Amino acid sequence: MASYHLSVKVGAKGKASAHAEYIEREGEYKLKNNEKLEAVEHGNMPEWAQDNPNLFWQCADEFERKNGSTYREIEIALPRELTPQQRKELVQTFVEQELGEKHAYTWAIHNPKASIEGGEQPHAHIMYSERLQDGIERSPDQFFKRYNSKNPERGGCQKSNFAKTAEQRKTELVELRERFADLQNVYLEEYGHTDRVDHRSLADQGIERSPEKHLGWKGSQNQDVKDLVLEYREATQTFQTYIDYLPKHLASLDQEQQKQKPKPLTDEQKLKIVNQKTVEANKNTSEYKALFEKYRTQYIENTTKSELKEYQKQGADIRA
């Protein structure tokens, strides 16, 4: 089954420009030998950042309010089953679906090798501004000012999360996770793959196992840690194999027990049993009749003798 991951992070003031360089693998974040940069795109930039998207993030760091967030980032795992071009199409569709034309964004697809197995780990970083562009031309410093609801042209762009409660944001995150799972499954089906993803937790899916822990970059540099993690994963997989096999094993035992149960009797077998019981019953009846006749005869004989004695006694009395 294809793996699923989606998380949302918030970027503080002063972090946007460096993070943009990180996901683009620019500056000090140039590509390393074991990873690939599959795609990078920018979109919905204001006029003053059209030719230099990174300027937008630099201005966000400079002009955003002191306690304000400069960006939000959606990090998503992408299917290994898809080709790089298909993964790019998936991200483009997702960005268009979720950000539309009002949020400035920068996104990139990374594909490093897994720390343990060495396989591909394609994923995307989607970095976007919460500021909603409303068609009003603003200078860089005004763009990031507080929104003016009475006179929008005098203030900055409104933020999409303005006045939302924590519960509302939590609900939106759950819905976002579900939408991405649905979209990912559409692409898997479209390109002929049977694997599917599920945005729900393992517990909600009814799967009795713990999620795998992310090793992280530091852990991947320590061979002892890598060996321990590998042993743990192998043990977990073995345990899960037994858990998955148990229902099948119990079902096979039930089938064996069913096989050992006596088969239904045929009409011929039933008739044979009935005849046998009838013979036994007749035999018992004959025995009962003989026994009854024996006791009846004895009773008659005893009664006759008793009456005869009584008559003899009466005759003797008369003669006397």
What is residue 14's predicted lDDT score, i.e. its pLDDT? 95
Give residue limits of the domains in the chain: 6-199, 212-261, 265-320
Strand-pair partners of 8? 74
Count of other CB atoms within 10 angstroms of residue 99: 19
> Two tokens at 238?
């073995």
What is residue 235's predicted lDDT score, i.e. its pLDDT? 60
What is residue 61's predicted lDDT score, i.e. its pLDDT? 97
Give the list of residues 6+ apart from residue 243 with CB closer than 8 angstroms, or none: 208, 209
What is residue 310's predicted lDDT score, i.e. its pLDDT? 66
Q: How far apart are CA 261 and CA 258, in angstroms?
A: 5
What is residue 270's predicted lDDT score, i.e. its pLDDT? 74
Q: How far apart are CA 265 and CA 270, in angstroms?
A: 6
Whether 22 is catalytic is: yes
Burial of 159 (0-12, 13-18, 19+ CB in 10 A): middle
User: Which residue among the candidates 4, 22, 187, 242 is catalytic per the annotation?
Assistant: 22
What CATH class does 6-199 carry?
alpha beta
What is residue 54's predicted lDDT score, i.e. its pLDDT? 96
What is residue 214's predicted lDDT score, i.e. its pLDDT? 55
What is residue 279's predicted lDDT score, i.e. its pLDDT? 72
pLDDT along the chain (320 residues), means of 10: 87 96 89 79 97 97 93 96 97 97 97 76 96 96 96 95 86 96 96 92 64 54 56 59 65 69 74 74 67 66 66 58
**Helix-then-strand count for the chain, H and E:** 8, 7
Report which of 152, 151, 69 is spatially closest to residue 143, judged by C-alpha positions: 152
Burial of 30 (0-12, 13-18, 19+ CB in 10 A): exposed
